[in-house]
Amino acid sequence: MDTLFYAHRGSSHKFSENTRAAYLQAIDEGADGIECDVHLTQDGIVVCHHDPTVDRTSDATGLVSGLTLSQMKAMDFTGVIPSLIPEDYGRENEQLLSLAELFEILEERSRPIGLAIEIKHPSPFGHLLEDGVLKVLADNHFDPSTGTAGSKSQIAVTLMSFEPESLRYLSRTVN
């Protein structure tokens, strides 16, 4: 078996973690896969974000669970690693991604790639976070028997969490 190289939160040494630019840079650098962290917004959207708050990663404050997607999209998430973002990696206000948008990016790049999705707990929404992830997967043609998603089944999906109950819930629900 070949060794695979995953970019943790994207190319987070070059661009701010979990941003469009970090993910695109990792793909363009040839990463075999990328890892993203996910939380649920107040309006039920699964977003790629590590912390339960936006305090460390944006120019604002607050709990991800207390903010809507549109409120988060209005924030600047580029300050952790300030750098000039190439035009084709999106504008400053396009850096926060929903999980569905991350799938769109992976599909656009049209090459086999791994996607490790870390489900972050505790979540005030309980298993609605897992349900949201599973809905995004279903919308992207996820096949639990192969672990692949995408219209061309080119995205090898791994689900992970530090929360044992999350993993038990997923193992009961995915099949």
| Alpha carbons 18 and 51: distance in angstroms, whole number | 11
pLDDT surpassing 70 at residue 55: yes
Cβ–Cβ under 8 Å, residues 51 and 57 = yes
Give CA–CA dist 129/119, Å, rounded. 8
pLDDT of residue 153: 64
Q: What is the pLDDT of residues 19-29, one digit of tens each?
A: 999 999 999 99
The question of whether 49 is a catalytic residue gets the answer no
pLDDT at site 151:
86
CB 149 within 8 A of CB 116: no
Among residues 13, 39, 49, 50, which one is catalytic? 50
Q: Of the given ranges (59-63, 90-94, 132-136), which has the lowest mean pLDDT?
A: 90-94
The band of 2, judged by pLDDT with boundaries at 50, 70 and 90, is confident
CA distance 144 to 138: 10
Percent of the chain with pLDDT over 90: 89
H or E, element range at 100: helix 99-109
Q: Which of 8, 13, 49, 141 is catalytic?
A: 8
- Report the distance separating Cα 18 and Cα 78, nearest Å: 10
Mean pLDDT along residues 84-98: 93
pTM for the structure as a whole: 0.96
pLDDT at 50 over 80: yes
More confident residue, 111 or 49: 49
Q: How confident is the model at residue 82 (pLDDT cuts 50, 70, 90)?
A: confident
Helix (H) or strand (E) holding 40: strand 33-40
What is the pLDDT of the chain when averaged over all its residues? 95
Question: pLDDT by residue (tens digit) across 125-165?
Answer: 999 999 999 999 999 999 999 999 998 769 999 999 999 99
Q: How many CA atoms lie within 13 A of 98 on its CB side?
A: 20
Q: Is the model's pLDDT at 30 over the cut of 90?
A: yes
In the residue annotation, 39 being an active-site residue is answered as no
The pLDDT assigned to 20 comes to 97
